[in-house]
Amino acid sequence: MAASSTWPCTGPRNWPHRPRKDLAAKFAPLAKQLTDNEAKIIEELAAVQGKPADIGGYYLPDTSKLKAVMCPSQTFNAVLSSLA
């Protein structure tokens, strides 16, 4: 079906995913923190790769153990927490 002039998403002004300058300003501090801490974050993530992890069960894992395994970089977690 070809797009017609009555189609609600024709033309750039109706596209919901156009760049927004306010979002760029909001996320600039996050980008700077991530860039400044990149080496440390990569080091923390690499330290846990390839090792078995105890998550307290397969079907019903312990959520605190699971979070520790799934979010191993304290630096990355702190940077993300600062966004909220």
Q: What's residue 21's pLDDT? A: 74
pLDDT, tens only, 13-51: 655 666 677 788 888 999 999 999 999 999 999 999 999
Return d(Cα 77, Cα 69) in angstroms, integer: 12
CA distance 15 to 81: 31
Domain segments of the chain as ranges: 21-83
Model confidence at 3: pLDDT above 60: no
With b for 16 or more beta-carbon neighbours within 10 A and e for fewer, the 10-37 pattern comes to: eeeeeeeeeeeeeeeeeeeeeeebeeeb
